[in-house]
């Protein structure tokens, strides 16, 4: 009888230990989610403090990046008094119809190593890719690495090539060159 009672007690202790471990894992997951949310909110506050115009969608949905239409990106690009970084995360071998000579080219699969090449985490970053999907992933990654002023150029080269941004850049370059 005593052996059966001891086995039952050990069984109960093991079950309780398993439950404690499961709860600890859930707490760790919640801490990670909370840290991510706080990081995004800090980015929002910094951008508001610095006078950025942010969409309601950006704030209400807790996005880590701002979506810019090609037109807004082009207007931003043409403001002489704004310092920014143009980051192209397209895959190696991708050749757009019009090049963006100012762009820093870091393919998405290299960004986890090469993001350290972007020294200033506060400088606005305009991110572009082939179709805009990869640049969204790059924006999310950069935000997790502490870059708070990250902007996706919606639609990437696919949309911008038929739109104002790249076409106007090409015209502007031909006039100045």
Q: Are 150 and 139 in contact (CB under 8 A)?
A: yes
Q: Rg for the chain (alpha carbons), in Å?
A: 24
**End-to-end Cα separation, the chain, in angstroms:** 95
Please give the share of the chain, as a percent, with pLDDT higher than 90: 32
Q: What is the pLDDT of residues 78-96, one digit of tens each?
A: 787 888 899 999 998 888 7
153: β partners: 68
Instruction: Determine the Cα–Cα distance for residues 77 and 173; give it in Å rounded to an integer.
Output: 13
Q: Quick one: which of 122, 118, 126 has its CA closest to 75?
A: 126
State whether residue 153 is helix, strand or coil: strand
pTM of the model: 0.70
Instruction: Determine the Cα–Cα distance for residues 76 and 91; give it in Å rounded to an integer.
Output: 25
Q: What is the pLDDT of residues 32-91, one digit of tens each?
A: 889 888 887 877 787 777 777 777 777 777 777 888 888 888 888 778 788 889 999 999
Report residue 55: phi and psi, to 5°.
-75, 155
Q: What is the pLDDT of residues 109-143, one digit of tens each?
A: 999 999 999 988 888 999 999 988 999 999 999 99
């Amino acid at each position: 009888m005593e052996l059966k009672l001891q086995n039952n007690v050990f069984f109960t202790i093991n079950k309780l230990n398993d439950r404690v471990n499961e709860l600890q894992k859930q707490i760790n997951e919640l801490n990670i989610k909370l840290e991510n949310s706080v990081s995004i909110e800090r980015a929002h506050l910094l951008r508001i403090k610095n006078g950025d115009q942010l969409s309601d969608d950006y704030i209400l949905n807790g996005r880590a990046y701002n979506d810019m239409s090609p037109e807004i990106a082009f207007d931003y690009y043409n403001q002489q008094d704004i310092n920014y970084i143009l980051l192209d995360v397209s895959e190696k071998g991708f050749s757009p119809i019009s090049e963006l000579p100012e762009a820093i080219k870091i393919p998405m699969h290299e960004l986890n190593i090469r993001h350290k090449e972007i020294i200033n985490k506060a400088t606005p970053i305009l991110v572009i890719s082939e179709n805009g999907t990869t640049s969204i992933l790059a924006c999310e990654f950069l935000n997790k690495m502490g870059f708070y002023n990250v902007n996706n150029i919606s639609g990437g080269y696919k949309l911008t090539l038929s739109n104002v941004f790249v076409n106007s850049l090409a015209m502007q370059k031909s006039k100045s060159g």
